Chains A and B, each alone.
Chain A
Amino acid sequence: MAKWSRTLGLLLSLVMLVAGCGSSGQPAGGGDGPSGSGDQQSPPAAGTQPQAPATPAPSGRTTLQMWIMPNTTQSEQDMLQLLQPFMAQHNVDVQVTVIDWSSAWTRITAAATSGEGPDVLQLGTTWVPAIAAMGALEPLSGKVAEIGGADAFYPASWNTVSIAGDPEVYAVPWFIDVRAAYYRTDVFQKAGVDPQTAFRDWESFKAALHQINGTEIEGRPVAAIGFPGKNDWNVTHNIMPWVWGAGGSELSADLRSSAINSEEALDGVMFYTGLVREGLVPPGVLEKNTSDAEMAFHTGEFAVFFNGPWMVSQYTRPESENGHADKIAAQNYGVAPIPEGPRGRYTFFGGSNLAIFNASRHKELSWELVKFLVGKEAQMAYGEMAGMLPALKALEPDMVALNANFAPFYEAARYGRSYASIPQWGPVETVYTKHLSTIWDLTAGVSGTYSREAVKQVLDEAAREATSLLNQ
């Protein structure tokens, strides 16, 4: 009996150990997704199990499988509604599966590995090279002329459809996420600061922030600027524009090693974190994530906030439709470009692309679906629904006519910069996010002493780890 119970005990313990081992599966990044969705901490949604590849429906109609991320508030219904004309025209059913950003990476890599996946799928822009390098995506170079080719899209967007150094096209731009500055018109007015000059360059920007800091609105002081710090998926995206503006880069020119510890990169990081040290940022915001920081801007905690275009749409909708039109920021805001750094004006440029799995048995039809989604009508309709900019350049005038506040985002799309399009970018971004997080601990003064040397040391570690990853 004793022997039995011993065996049983050990077996049980083993099983428990193994159960603990199985918990892998957060994505790298997800960082290229629309924050509006990436941040909504929805539980892994039920009913989003991957389906088997396309099979003829009982009616004899073909069914296409499509995976998307939660781009709109009712992602599945919105998408199906958008696809109605396509389904009618081609006599086909499309089964839409919505995958949360936080589990998307695992699901997509699993599908890419096993070949059991959808026909058409949405990919964060930085994921394309990685999935393409696995050999899971259908090459599209021969077809993209049908949708206007590279010229129809923004260069930073087209940069993300292939692997650096390989002319083959593996995806098509769908919508873009680009960052600009939201600012409070009432605060600037009361402080007597002209937004036109405030966002001209780093110097004028900092001077303006000092001037508006603490301006009282309705008897309550408003801090100059806020941004999420470390507990967020945007850590790298928030810092890189300042690194680029100072002349730094995420990787060396040959893309073989990290350049995050260059003097220029350090200048950029020091300027950005310096805003906190100079008392322009309410320290509490540094532990918030993007959606919490967004809320703090909506309710008037600070006067400047860098974010993507989705807030423009949110500010037109009432709360009952998941909007924020009733908040103080919505009634007093403008959008300005990110200030120009000593070495140029840059902003984060991300978004999502559409790709076709090469395991699909309906490639022609899948391409028709992609073509439909990057067609003018669908692009415009979906851009409105998702609050993202359509990838098609030609729609710029229509979107600006819809809401003039989109204009600065289109301007940003011209100076926007996407990350190096290499398969290892996802892992490298994870490393950067980790180490840049540590810099926020330094900046907030809760761990170590903030100094140029201390920040440099963190960046050195980041560069070392990232370079060793690139050499794997």
Chain B
Amino acid sequence: MSTSVPSPHPAGRARPALPSAGAPAGRGPAGDARHRRAGSWRNNRLAYAMVAPAFLFMLMVHLVPMLQGIAMSFLQLNQFTLRRFLRAPFVGLANYRSVLFDPENPVRAGLAIAARNTAIFSAVVTLLVLATGLGVALLMNRNFRGRALVRTLMLLPWVVPSYVVGILWSFMWHRDTGIINRILVDWLHLLPEKPFWLMGPNTIWAIILPTVWRSWPYVFIVFLAALQTIPGELYEAAAIDGAGPWRRFRHITLPLLRPAIAIQLLFQIIQSVYAFNIVVMMFGNGSGYAGEWGDLLMIAIQRQSFQSWLFGYGAAASVLLMLAMMGVVALWYRIFRQELIIR
């Protein structure tokens, strides 16, 4: 994924214009674009051929299920018609209408609460993950003894499978026996008595922190890679001109990191809106209900429709969420379009 981030390094920016070996001799460098593209096609034929199987495979495993999901949203698909699957009765937009407007629709129940939680959860998680990732990357982007070891250790949370993260943290959050209350109450005396973390309003923190803990190392490693492409001379020159650390960060680091930040921002938003595993494992291994402050959209949709075998409604709700997310992506694209163009 990080390869799609255009390198801010001057050397990286200047895409080496492939000497078009196949181009007729005598054509000047200002040959027209059409010819150049054709030449690049011919030159890169092998590369395209190599990529094609993977491309087709991705198309198959992503596009086909998506189309199937969209098709399901137009069908009256429940436990009684499931056996007919895509041949279930076609109901047009009725599922969408029902999910959006029918107060008696079972899939709707609690969806508003889940949407609110998801908004809070995604905003806080994205902010904390990016801030932590950037902060630690800045700290690690200097020479010190044992840097490689520390960097490797930093990646540990990221290599733990998310369902394990959920189980581990659920033990840590336990009121009487968990390490978190032990630290907060028994050792630091920050709180007068042990609070519940897996019940009541605190659950929103109980799901945010493990998610941040699991996600920041990835952002960190991407930012660190991006930081290392910024040439030291820029900082030296700025320092000679009298720029302090803050101004160097503000005017050199931040602008050159913008493409990386843009991509990570998008990834984090998408990942947190679709968060599932950690929360499911923390609250009853898929059978429980995280409560009014722990329920998230994906989980609510999954429970209210797929556990209740209302697959048509569930597919409609999923498609609606997807459309909403496409809106978010479009907005993101408008804001960060410039960062994505390879110049």
Contact = CB atoms under 8 A, between A and B. Distances in A.
Interface of A: 1-2, 5-6, 9-10, 12-31, 39, 41, 43, 102, 109, 112-113, 130, 133-136, 229-233, 235, 282-284, 286-289, 423-424, 426-427, 430-431, 433-434, 437-438, 440-441, 444, 446-447, 461, 465, 468-469, 472
Given A18-B62, A431-B308, A437-B289, A288 B174 contact: yes
Given A17-B329, A289-B285, A438 B292 contact: yes
9 contacts: A12-B4, A14-B66, A20-B271, A25-B306, A30-B286, A440-B199, A465-B106, A469-B106, A472-B106
Contacts of A287: 173-175, 196-199
B100 to A, nearest CB: 16
A17 B291 contact: no
B333 interface: yes
Interface string B280-296: 11111111110111000
Given A133-B79, A287-B174, A469 B287 contact: no
Interface stretch (B80-88, B215-223, B237-245): B80-88
Contact of A447 (B200, B281, B322): B200
Interface residues of B, number: 76
B199 A472 contact: no
A24 B270 contact: no
Contacts of B286: 26-27, 30, 102, 233
A18 B319 CA distance: 9
A437 B288 contact: yes
A447 B292 contact: yes
Given A433-B288, A444-B196, A1 B341 contact: yes
B65 A22 contact: yes
A468 B110 CA distance: 14
B199 A233 contact: no
A10 B318 CA distance: 19
Given A24-B302, A43-B163, A232 B200 contact: no
Contact of A469 (B200, B283, B308): B308
Given A21-B318, A427-B79, 18 more contacts: A10-B329, A20-B270, A21-B321, A23-B277, A27-B287, A27-B307, A41-B163, A41-B285, A113-B83, A113-B85, A136-B83, A286-B199, A430-B303, A431-B106, A433-B287, A438-B289, A468-B104, A472-B310
Contacts of B161: 43
Contacts of A24: 302, 306, 314
B274 A20 contact: yes
B204 to A, nearest CB: 12
Given A284-B177, A287-B175, A427 B307 contact: yes
A437 B291 contact: yes
B280 A438 contact: no
Interface string B255-290: 000000000001100110110110011111111110
B69 interface: yes
Nearest to A289: B284
A14 B330 CA distance: 11
A230 B298 CA distance: 20
A284 B307 contact: no
A399 to B, nearest CB: 29
Given A230-B199, A232-B287, A135 B83 contact: yes
B62 A19 contact: yes
A423 B199 CA distance: 32
Contacts of B197: 287
Contact of B307 (A28, A230, A235): A28
A130 B292 contact: no
A283 B177 CA distance: 12
A13 B265 CA distance: 12
A84 to B, nearest CB: 34
A342 to B, nearest CB: 29
A182 B229 CA distance: 65
A440 B174 CA distance: 15
B314 to A, nearest CB: 7
A5 B263 CA distance: 13
Contacts of B83: 112-113, 134-136
Contacts of B158: none
Interface centre among B280, B308, B340 (most CB of A within 10 A): B308
